[in-house]
Amino acid sequence: MTAKTAKISCVLWVLLRLFSHFVKPLTSYTCQLTDDQASALETALRARNWKPREVPYARFAFDSDQCTAVLYESGKLVAQGKGTQEFIEFLLEPEILKQARLGYESVLNPDLFLPRLGVDESGKGDFFGPLCIAGAYVNESVVRAWQDSGIRDSKNISSDKKIAELAERIRQTPGCLVDTVTIGNEAYNRLYAKMKSVNTILAWGHARVIENLLARRLLMNPPPARVISDQFASNKTVIEKALMSGGREIELVQRHKAEEDLAVAAASILARDEFVKGLAKVEKQFGMKLPKGASSAVDEAAIKFLAERGAENLSKVAKMHFRTALRAQGLPEPPKTEWKGRR
């Protein structure tokens, strides 16, 4: 860190602390800590002579005269009491989190509470199962309701049960509106035969979700300022060309790692939940376990499916343009083209 950067950071810290005098002090606070942060906090509390106590399912718990701090086995920290804000401002943030964020979310991230739509998909890289696209409308009240909820990019959540729980929470959050478009395998294969491009199918699905949500604009308070989507194609106009009149009246923001935005993260969870349900439906229909993704295990499952259910049924459960389909049928694979990446 340069001297200039350090000076700017110091000034920002002071300004944020001055701002805190105009905010009602907190008496309860929760956040998620890493293992390293948890160890550092325990050491800091012991050094300050906080009194340890036993709490069920807690890694540790300490009391001071005006605050209690409990770190649960899940990594969730809960602080309560009249001294909560002082604990956060003078210990937790500067020594453990090493950032000032309490009550200043809108200062540190001006876009955090903006009303917006987030759109994402699931199933694009899965041989078996549908392609699902989902969207979510969020506003300030929704964002605040989701703080410390665990809502994040679905690719970072390995448990289908957790995905289902979070998806239900998203759907039940007051003020949040959601929509999903599920493209089953037979429909997907017809679209691919016509469009010859996964990105074109994705753009069509994203556009439908956006249009469906905007048709309910009167229920959004306030109306969305923009739509945020992952940039899955090199040409950003792919989605724009698929939008109809309603979708063209709102700003469309496409960027890499869009799932870092809470609205897009919520959409990714909804899409994954729909994909998991769709895959389970075809598994039940054909009485076979169909692995997720594209791997040697998927290749083996495809061969087994062909042997037991026949080639005429494969298109009902799989995306037929994948090389997996060719290998399973003993057909020659086209030569791989060199991927040149983004310039």
Domain final position from 52, 82, 103: 103
Domain final position from 260, 279, 298: 279
Is residue 237 domain-resident? Answer: yes
Asked if residue 82 and residue 203 are part of one domain, the reply reads no
Q: Which two tokens stand for residue 21?
A: 């005098």
Is residue 12 domain-resident? Answer: no
With CA atoms as reference, report the closest residue to 131 among 214, 179, 197, 187.
187
Q: Which two tokens stand for residue 2?
A: 């340069």
Whole-number Å distance between alpha carbons of 210 and 239: 10
Asked if residue 271 and residue 303 are part of one domain, the reply reads no
Is residue 30 domain-resident? Answer: yes
Asked if residue 164 and residue 99 are part of one domain, the reply reads no
Is residue 296 domain-resident? Answer: yes
Q: Are strands 116-122 and 226-230 parallel, antiparallel or unpaired?
A: parallel
CB 204 within 8 A of CB 181: no
What type of residue is 165? E
Whole-number Å distance between alpha carbons of 184 and 278: 8
pLDDT less than 70: residues of the chain = 1-25, 100-110, 233-236, 240, 242, 244-248, 337-343
Asked if residue 46 and residue 166 are part of one domain, the reply reads no
CB 133 within 8 A of CB 264: no
Is residue 8 domain-resident? Answer: no
Domain final position from 103, 138, 173: 103
Whole-number Å distance between alpha carbons of 318 and 58: 45
The pTM (predicted TM-score) of the whole model is 0.70
Is residue 176 domain-resident? Answer: yes
What type of residue is 157? I
Q: Any idea what DSSP says for residue 62?
A: E
Number of domains into which the chain is organized: 3
Whole-number Å distance between alpha carbons of 50 and 137: 43
In angstroms, the Cα distances linking 204 to 32, 210, 248 are 37, 10, 14
Whole-number Å distance between alpha carbons of 176 and 141: 9
Asked if residue 292 and residue 271 are part of one domain, the reply reads no
Whole-number Å distance between alpha carbons of 59 and 76: 10
What type of residue is 183? I
Question: Quick one: how far is CA 299 from the chain centroid?
Answer: 29
Asked if residue 153 and residue 35 are part of one domain, the reply reads no
Whole-number Å distance between alpha carbons of 209 and 213: 6
Run of H or E including 77: strand 76-80
- Please report the pLDDT score of residue 93 as a whole number: 87
CB atoms within 10 A of CB 116: 24
Asked if residue 95 and residue 158 are part of one domain, the reply reads no
- Please report the pLDDT score of residue 2 as a whole number: 61
Residue 189 belongs to what domain range? 116-279
The CATH number of the domain where 244 resides is what?
A: 3.30.420.10
Query: Who's near 188: CB < 8 A, 6+ residues apart?
Result: 130, 131, 201, 319
The CATH number of the domain where 62 resides is what?
A: 3.30.310.10
Asked if residue 50 and residue 81 are part of one domain, the reply reads yes
Asked if residue 185 and residue 223 are part of one domain, the reply reads yes
In angstroms, the Cα distances linking 288 to 2, 141, 211, 305 are 60, 43, 36, 8
- Please report the pLDDT score of residue 248 as a whole number: 64
Chain segment 205-219, per-residue pLDDT in tens: 999 999 999 999 999
Q: How far apart are the first and last CA of the chain?
A: 30
Asked if residue 62 and residue 29 are part of one domain, the reply reads yes
Asked if residue 175 and residue 78 are part of one domain, the reply reads no
Asked if residue 315 and residue 290 are part of one domain, the reply reads yes
